[in-house]
């Protein structure tokens, strides 16, 4: 059996780091957290693509695991897009504030 099962079982949706006190010195900044989350979503999409390709080329893979990998990647991408949309909405509101 192909290694697709390990791909779906080890990948999870991006998680936020634990909350820290404001001004706390931490090597991980918001930018780094954001970039890491985007890279994780990208990895999930690549893993899902590989799983679909393995299924279509006739390799011995479990179709349920392939479907699960595709759904996880889709959900992670949709979550990322919603976060981006909300951030853009906030930016537009701040930009439109009259001083």
* pLDDT tier at 15, thresholds 50, 70, 90: low
Residue 18 lies in a domain: no
Residue 7 lies in a domain: no
Our measurement of the distance from residue 32's CA atom to the centroid of its chain's CA atoms, rounded to an integer in Å, reads 14
How long, in residues, is the chain? 99
Structure confidence at residue 54 (pLDDT): 95
Residue 73 lies in a domain: yes
Residue 13 lies in a domain: no
- 8 A C-beta contact, residue 7 and residue 33: no
Res 20 pLDDT > 50: yes
Residue 16 lies in a domain: no
- 8 A C-beta contact, residue 51 and residue 69: yes
**79: left (phi > 0), else alpha (psi -120 to 50), else beta?**
alpha
Res 4 pLDDT > 80: no
Number of compact structural domains in the chain: 1
The residue segments making up the domain with residue 40 are 28-95
Residue 8 lies in a domain: no
Residue 20 lies in a domain: no
* pLDDT tier at 1, thresholds 50, 70, 90: very low
Question: Rounded to whole angstroms, how far apart are CA atoms 84 and 18?
Answer: 20
pLDDT digits (tens, 9 = 90+) for 45-88: 999 999 999 999 999 999 999 999 999 999 999 999 999 999 99
> With the C-alpha atoms ordered 74, 9, 44, 62, is the resulting torsion angle positive or negative?
negative
Q: Which residue has the tokens 């697709």?
A: 4
């Amino acid at each position: 059996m192909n290694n697709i099962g390990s791909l779906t079982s080890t990948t999870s949706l991006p998680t936020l780091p634990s909350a820290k006190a404001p001004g706390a010195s931490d090597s991980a900044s918001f930018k780094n957290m954001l970039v890491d989350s985007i890279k994780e979503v990208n990895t999930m999409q690549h893993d899902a693509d590989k799983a679909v390709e393995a299924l279509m080329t006739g390799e011995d893979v479990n179709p349920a695991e392939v479907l699960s990998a595709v759904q996880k990647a889709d959900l992670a991408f949709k979550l990322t897009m919603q976060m981006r949309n909300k951030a853009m909405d906030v930016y537009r509101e701040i930009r439109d504030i009259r001083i």
